[in-house]
Amino acid sequence: MHDTDVLRQLMLAVSRLAEGSDQQMRQAEQFAESVRQLQATQLEWVKQRQVEEGHFRQAMVQLFAEQQDRTEAALRPVIGKTWWGLVTVAAGFVLFYIGAWLLVDQQLQRLEEAQARADAAQVSAEVQQASQHVRITSCGGRACIAIDKNTPTWKSNGKEYVLVDGRPAD
């Protein structure tokens, strides 16, 4: 083999290497372009997902607000009835308290009246018992008392008192 053959083979190998290198370069550029397109697509998807998430959040907020409004609307009559019931119960307690107070006041008045009658009856009984030992009469147009000589008496400070209960002094 001659130098020219070797040189030709070498040139052929270099040419093939250059073609292979060019082909790999084109493939690398195509791959880089595919990666760029893929990244652009991914970026587009991320943006689209963020937009959809924003719409979803807004929809959820709106649904929550609507649900809260429906719940409040449903609870409003129940809360009103509950307050009405509490006011009714409180008014019932007030009326019960006033009625009990009036009843107790009436019973206290009746008790005081009964005590006054009992005191009057006791005085009347004591007067009745004392009248057994004393006779009230008229002495020349004036009231006078005739005392039974056998009635027990009590002496104190030089004065003599007739015992109304009729029992002898100790």
The span from the CA of 109 to the CA of 106, in Å, is: 5
Tokens at 23, concatenated: 């082909």
Which pLDDT score, from 0 to 100, does residue 165 have?
Answer: 62
pTM of the model: 0.41
List pLDDT tens digits, range 128-139.
Answer: 877 776 777 778
Please return the burial class of 130, using the count of CB atoms within 10 Å of its CB with bins 0-12, 13-18 and 19+. middle
Query: Where in the chain are the domains?
Result: 3-131, 132-170
Quickly state the pLDDT bin for 170 (edges 50, 70, 90). Answer: low
Q: What is the pLDDT of residues 93-120, one digit of tens each?
A: 999 999 999 999 999 999 999 999 999 9
Tell me the two tokens of residue 22: 């060019």
145 SS3 class: strand
Contact between 95 and 87 (Cβ < 8 Å): no
Q: Is it the case that residue 65 has pLDDT exceeding 80?
A: yes
